[in-house]
Every structure is written in C-alpha cells, then in structure tokens.
Structure 1
Amino acid sequence: MENLPSNLSEQIKNLIEKYPETENVFNQLIDLVDEGTLKEAKRVKISNEINFADYTVILQLPSLSVQSPFRSKSNLIFACPKSDTSKPILAIAKTNEKPQLILDKLNDENVLYAVILPIPEKKDFKNLAIFYKENMGGVHKNEPLLIQYNESLISESLKLILQKMTFPTYFQRQCSMLGFKLNLFTESKDFYVVAHKGSKEGFLYFLEDQILFGFKKPILLFEKSQIESINYSSVTRLTFSITLSYKEADKTAKIEFSMIDQAEFDKIDNYVKAKGFTDKSLTEELKAKSNMKNNETSGALREAALQIPGGEKIVGESNIEVQGDSDDEDVDGTYQFNGNESEDDGSPPNTDEETEEKGDDAKEDDLNQEAIKIDN
C-alpha cells in the first residue's frame, strides 16, 4: 500500500478502519496490481546482458517462488565465469529465458545482508532474503530479493550431496564461494514475533545484528548500527507496541510496530538490553506525554498494569494519580509508559478525610467498580 499514491492509500486505510473485513480484499487487489507491474518489468532490458555459454553453472534450484522484487516461479542460478575477465553471478531466470535479475557484484560492499528465515505458518518452507545496493542494470528499483522455497523438497533432490550436511549449511558454503556471507537463523539466539506496521500484519525478526520486518512489501531491514533507541508504548493487558528510532541518511527516523503479544515482552526486553539499545521509554520527553494522556487514570489501572510482565518497569506511581470516583465511562484500559519506578503495591492512597473515613468494604467496592470500568 506504501507504493500507492498518498491520497489513494489514505482513502483505503480509512475504509479498512471502518470495514476491517475489506483489508484482505484490498491486499489481493494490490497483489494483482504488482503482477501487472511485473508484466511491464519483463519488458525492461537488462543492460550488459550475460551469455550463459561463458559461465559454468555450479548450482541451479528450479521453480522457486520469487516474492520480491517481482512475483514469479523461476530458477535460482549460481554461475562462475570460464575466464578471469568476468565475475561470479547470481541470476534469477526462467528455463530457456533471459534472466529477470542478475547480481554480479557478490561482495560485502554490495551484498548488505543475506539470511535464511523460517516462515512461522509453513513448517517446511523457508525464505531466502538478500539485501543489496544494486543489481546489474539497476532494474526493479534495486528492491531486495526474497525467495520462498520448500526445504524438504530441495533436500530430497540434493540428497546425494547432502549426506554429511544440511541444505542450509551447503547453501551457505556455495554463497561463500561466490563471495558473500549467508546468515542462518539460529533458534537458540534469534526469534520472531507477530507484529503490525499500521494495518499490515507481518513478522518481526530479532536477529544477531539486525531487526527485520516482512514479508509483504516493503521488506524492512534495520542494522544494529542504525538503531539509536527502542521504546515501549501503548501497553495493554494483552499487547504493546515498540518504536524504533534509527539513522536514515542525515536524520533520525521512527517506525512503530504494534499489537505485539504481551507474552513476548520479556524476550524483546532481554534482547534490547543484551544488544545495548537505549530504552527511552522513561525519558522526560515521553514521561511528559504519558502524564498528559494518563492524568485521569485511576489507581485500579496501575494495579492492572502491574499484573503485566515487566509492568513494574514502565508504570510510575507519580504518573497515575488517584481521582476517586469517576463518571468517565470511556476508560479503555490502555496506558502508555510513565516515568518513575515505584515499589508500592498499586493501591490508591487516601486523598482526603472523607476517604479516610470509609470502611474496608467501601474501599474494596470502589476499587472493584473502577476495575470493572477499565475492563470494559
């Protein structure tokens, strides 16, 4: 949707907000538009086209599902030149057709990051993602290459070669021979969560030195060196959001990923600390914003927040003030990060003589009524 004109994109987003069930229809329509764009892209001539007769094919994986920068069932080809005047290439091409895309600069300067990632909803399938600066001819806007493949089928077809190693290890060695590093997803240290970027659902991968969001266009990659801080916000009993502040050219940009399950909080928080990313959730700037949004929040909300994993880190006593009985029916149970950490148990303090004179039963009843409003 990001590739659409801004006014059209805004109209579609408004319709999705009003009629959520239409989101899938719009996504299918956009995919069809992409396929139409592919037909135009096929007419683009690749400058410096290669002649495969001058190369020795060292690996060819047939009929893979190319997802980006175009959609196609094509072959992935690794080839080395027969003479010293040329360089190894990675090509995407259909059988007996000219290549649709060629990477001829397979070095660390041009290949920014390459990785094999699991696809959560498809057990046997993997995604190969390659980010690079430019391809031969600069076609397809130099968008990253994303290929989906069935690892079980490939492993079966290469079983004679793979007797002493797995396909990912074998493929990693082939990439190294061509001149670039292929990273492998390691379950012991890498993980992913379901997240939303706007209305678009995807998977947010937390990798060794990168954070990646995919797999609908645009596929986003953030290098560790780019990331300035990670903030938590929009915390509810079930979900929370994170905002990445990162360097983009000569300025700092921000992007939010929302609707992350609360069960993932500790994993992400441990990752943020382990990688040394700055957590600005408790800075004075965000604290002031949180105070403005929470100045009518009851003590019962604080009590609910403390039931969330990590809630004691992000809810401050001074930011959630007791308002006594409230006629506000619009409390929705969400809150943003405040500033000061507190060791108290979340119970609202007595604020005047009338409150002090209430019996134990009345206090309990007041808190229950506030909790009911928040839950609703």
Structure 2
Amino acid sequence: MSGPGVLAPFAGDEALQARIRAYIESHPEAAGLIRDIASYIDSLGSPPAKRKKTEAADELVKVEYEPSLPAMPAVTIRDVSFTMPLRKKYTIIISNRSLQVVQPTDHSKVELDIPLRSVAFAACLGVPERATPLWNFVVFRSNSDLYGAANKDAATEPLVFSVPETFAKTASGPLFDAMETQIKLEIEARPDVKPENSDSSSDISDEDDEDVLTYKRLLLRAFANAGVEVALPDPEVFHASKTSRHSKTEPEYHVSCHRGSKEGVLYFFNSGVFFGFKKPLLFFPIDKIEAITYSSITRVTFNLTVAVLVSRPGSSDEHEEEFEFSMIDQSEFGTIDSYVRMFKLSDRSMAEERRAKKELKQDRDDTAVNNGDSELAKASRELAALGDSDEDPEDESDDENFEDEDSDDGGSPSGSEDDSDDSGSGEEAEEASDDED
C-alpha cells in the first residue's frame, strides 16, 4: 500500500495521486520502484511546477538548477556515437550538474567532464539527408571557440553526438525509470488501452511517439532538469522551402551551403545562426551579429556573409569578422529574407538594439515587423528586372567549376567518407566506431 511519503512529491495533484495509489494496489511489485522515483523527485528540491510544450507529444519539465544539491546521476546512456571531439562510441552520464563522457568498459575513466552551467549553446538537430531519422546533439562549452579558431584541442572543441529516433534501450537511471513509469501510467489511464503485464520496453510501441521514451526525449528532459536550454528548430522562426524526407507535412530546417570548399548546412534560431557539421562548427549569437549581407547573386545561387563581433577565448577585446557561405540555392531567398527581416539583421544600426534587447530579455516579436525592403529583396527585384535574358555565361561557368572542384571533396552533411574533419552524420560515426571497436 502506498504511504504518504510516496505521494508527497505529487501533492496538489489529487488525480495523479489516485492513479499512483491504484497502480501500486494492482501492481504491488512496483511499490519499491515508485518509492525510489518519489524520493528522487523530492531530492530535486521541489516538484516540477511548469510544463513547456516543445513539440507534439513531447513535454519537458523544467526543474530549477540548485547548486547546493550534490551531483546525482540522472541517466546513463551506453553506445553513444560521438563525432566531435573524438570519433568513437562512449557512455554518457548526465547528472543535475555535469555531463560526463566515460569509457564504455570502465566508467571510472572519464574522457570529458563538462559542468552543465558552463554550456554556452546547445542544440538538437536532425541529421540532414538521412534515410532514417537521426538526431545530432551539439554542445558548445564556455571555453569553446564559437567562431572556429584553428585550435582543435579536445578541451575547446564543441561536442557532437548522435542518437537514433528509437526507444532508449541502452539507457538506465532514475530519470529513465521515472519517465518510463510516467508513460506507463498515462497509457493505463486511457479507458481504451489495457496493456498486458510484460517487460517495460515491450509495453511501449515505437509506432506512437507519445508512448515511446526515445533517446531524444530522454536527453531533452535530462538537459532541461539541469537548467540547460537546448535549441530546437522552430517553424515560427525559420524553416526551409523544401519538405522533410521523413514527413510530407514537416519542413526541413536547414539550408545547404559551402564554407570554402566544404559543404555544410545552416540553421537559424532566435538565439543565433549555426553552421555544421564540417569542422570547424560555427555559432553566431544573435546579439553579436552586426549584419547579414548578400553577394554573387545568380539565377541559381547566392552567397551570404555574416559580420559578427568576435572575441577569442581568454580575451575581452572584440573586433568584427566576416564569414561567407556560398552556393545557397535561390529557392531559399524568401526563407532567409524572412529571418533577416524578423531580426533586422540587414541594418547595422540595429546591432546595438539587438544587444540591448538580449540584455533586457525583451520579446523579440516586437521587432519582427520591418516595412522596409531588405537588401535581399531589392537584389531579387533587380534580378527579375533582367527579364528572360540568359544567365551570364561567366556566372554559370563559375558555378560549374565550383561544383567540379568540390567533387573530390564531396563534403556531404549526410556523412560521406570524404573528409577527416567531417563531424556530420551519426552513420559515419557509427562506421568509424564499429571499426575501432
């Protein structure tokens, strides 16, 4: 029978308490597990008070980070494929205070120990051009170089690791147990669902995302509980013109481009612009962007240049640098233009205002309306004014030559075998790690 100690963390939700009580009465063997879950939740300092919907059927519980609490391992995940800073499979252990990367056979051998309060930027991004869904988690540490200096020390490189969109079968720990039990309780509470008694993993079907504790869902909750905000693509902020290969109704959220001779992708967030997954990874915080301009506009492609204020690690002095991304498809003209206009990134005079608004944590929706034409829109009209005349042969030959020059490199974000600096797909990481194992 459930006692007051088991139900205490759920005070204020009588319906949930009744469901837990009924579940324990019908499943006495689960009493110990639910008691441990209640103790764990209680040890976090306060029960989850606020739920935030991040995507359909996926809710994150925000738990305030409490520095005075001891480090408590929340979840352990085995066989995680890393592509940066090391290309190998490791075990990760996430507590309320840190993310540890450890050797699979000996957890006492810690390769990396990252305080989660020091994370500068984190994102969860779908790996482009994958036949099956795969998620890249990107973590920039406070000492990471956001602008990709030549230093490739493992202590300063960001982390990139990949997980499939499947049930988290290699995960364990109190958070995993708590979330799995929560899903089971929600399933049993439905009047039309009567699951049979069986192992935990077999109770959950991969056919219904709401009923699956996926790696992505588990990791997002673990980061949220530690106070780390993980950026997710937001269609209200930016989405590409093409649709996802995994869904006819879901758009893609990346734009293909080149950085020098390497092919990569750009993601646009309300917090900034990210380039991956070729080394070096780049992240431009929105408050550091001075302007975004366009050049080499043809009927097929255009180039984008991001001017940002740069301060290298260990120095407080800032100076402006420009980063150019080329060979962006003309079909993304409008999508990128909408983002630039939303944050007024074509106007250098607005840079100080953007920084001030970040410091004051004001809602950027107030700046979304810009009645003036952007530089990109003007260029598009000028291009249209040329009528139906043929494209400049020189521009066309330049594009062809560029593609020919890259054919040997082939740098595809889907994880081709072209480049040792590729930090892209989990598929390539898995091949590398399998060879190494």
**TM-score normalized by the length of structure 2:** 0.48
State which of 164, 176, 181 in structure 2 corresponds to 1:150: 164
Shift of 1:312: 4.1
What residue identity is the alignment partner of 2:141? Y
Matches within 5 A, 1:23-102: 56-79=72-95, 88-95=97-104, 96-97=106-107, 98-102=109-113
Shift of 1:275: 1.3
Matches within 5 A, 1:184-263: 184-190=232-238, 191-249=253-311, 250-263=318-331
Give aligned-pair identity as a percent. Answer: 29
Secondary structure at 1:256 match in 2: strand
Per the alignment, residue 266 of structure 1 pairs with 334
Quickly say closer, same or farther: Cα 1:130–1:118, change in 2 above 3 A: same
- Residue 140 (1) aligns with residue 149 (2): no
State which of 95, 98, 119 in structure 1 corresponds to 2:127: 119
Shift of 1:180: 2.0
Shift of 1:229: 0.7
Per the alignment, residue 219 of structure 2 pairs with 171
Secondary structure at 1:184 match in 2: coil
* Cα deviations by residue, 1:226-253 (Å, 9 ceiling, x for unpaired): 1111111111111111011111122110
5+ residue gaps, structure 2, are 1-69, 145-151, 187-209, 239-252, 312-317, 349-375, 387-391, 399-437
What residue identity is the alignment partner of 1:116? C
Per the alignment, residue 346 of structure 1 pairs with none
State which of 269, 275, 279 in structure 1 corresponds to 2:343: 275
Q: Conserved in 1, the CA contact under 8 Å of 2:265 and 2:277?
A: yes
Report the Cα distance in structure 2 between the residues aligned to 1:155 and 1:184, rounded to whole angstroms: 23
RMSD after superposition: 3.2
From the CA coordinates, give the structure whose radius of gyration is larger: 1
Report the Cα distance in structure 2 between the residues aligned to 1:162 and 1:146, rounded to whole angstroms: 29
Shift of 1:76: 1.4
* Cα deviations by residue, 1:137-181 (Å, 9 ceiling, x for unpaired): x97132111111112243797683572656445433321322322
Q: Conserved in 2, the CA contact under 8 Å of 1:155 and 1:162?
A: no
Shift of 1:192: 1.2
Secondary structure at 2:161 match in 1: strand
Shift of 1:117: 0.5
What residue identity is the alignment partner of 1:160? E
Q: Conserved in 2, the CA contact under 8 Å of 1:198 and 1:257?
A: yes
Secondary structure at 2:155 match in 1: helix
Secondary structure at 2:180 match in 1: coil
Matches within 5 A, 1:13-32: none
Q: Conserved in 2, the CA contact under 8 Å of 1:68 and 1:146?
A: yes
* Cα deviations by residue, 1:92-145 (Å, 9 ceiling, x for unpaired): 1122140111112x22xx21111101112124100001111149xx97132111
Per the alignment, residue 288 of structure 1 pairs with none
Quickly say closer, same or farther: Cα 1:161–1:231, change in 2 above 3 A: farther
Shift of 1:269: 0.6
Greater relative contact order (Cα < 8 A, sep 6+):
2
Q: Conserved in 1, the CA contact under 8 Å of 2:309 and 2:320?
A: yes
Report the Cα distance in structure 1 between the residues aligned to 2:153 and 2:256, rounded to whole angstroms: 32
* Cα deviations by residue, 1:322-376 (Å, 9 ceiling, x for unpaired): xxxxxxx9644599xxxxxxxxxxxxxxxxxxxxxxxxxxxxxxxxxxxxxxxxx
Quickly say closer, same or farther: Cα 1:196–1:162, change in 2 above 3 A: farther
Per the alignment, residue 370 of structure 2 pairs with none
Report the Cα distance in structure 1 between the residues aligned to 2:330 and 2:274, rounded to whole angstroms: 20
Secondary structure at 2:228 match in 1: coil
Report the Cα distance in structure 2 between the residues aligned to 1:55 and 1:279, rounded to whole angstroms: 46
5+ residue gaps, structure 1, are 1-53, 81-87, 281-307, 321-328, 336-376
Secondary structure at 1:67 match in 2: strand
Report the Cα distance in structure 2 between the residues aligned to 1:189 and 1:315, rounded to whole angstroms: 27
Report the Cα distance in structure 2 between the residues aligned to 1:99 and 1:273, rounded to whole angstroms: 45
Q: Conserved in 1, the CA contact under 8 Å of 2:119 and 2:228?
A: yes
Report the Cα distance in structure 2 between the residues aligned to 1:131 and 1:314, rounded to whole angstroms: 40
